Amino acid sequence: MTLEEFSAGEQKTERMDKVGDALEEVLSKALSQRTITVGVYEAAKLLNVDPDNVVLCLLAADEDDDRDVALQIHFTLIQAFCCENDINILRVSNPGRLAKLLLLETESTFIAMEGSRLKSTYLLLPGKSLHGSVGSSN
């Protein structure tokens, strides 16, 4: 490994850390404002009803999810829809950490989210592993 390769690797890691920090901040704000939808089917329903108010789609899947053909079809359709509607897509390779991050928020946030109607900005988190951990909003 040359010095240039080592330097480029460090810069990439720093950049990814910054993206991760920004994502944590966005998730925290979305949870506090109750503007988050969790789950593949809930996300697809929201995209169908109100795509203009979706700002970001997080696709979180682990190795088990990669073997689920139906889930992968939904992911592909959601990605295509997001691309057509200029919705940013971010693929998360560690849904466990994402679920942990969401669960670190106050429990009252999740309880309040379940019965409330979301406001103008949505953050989507499709992924069946997250769906069971966090719940969904309508």
Q: Give the CATH number for residue 47.
A: 3.30.1330.30
pLDDT digits (tens, 9 = 90+) for 78-97: 889 999 998 888 887 777 77
**Owning domain of residue 47:** 3-134
**Among the ranges 54-58, 119-123, 128-132, which has the highest mean pLDDT value?**
54-58
Task: Evaluate whether 14 touches 48 at the Cβ level (below 8 Å).
Answer: no
Name the DSSP class of 86: T
Count of domains for the chain: 1
* pLDDT range class, residue 107, cuts 50, 70, 90: very low
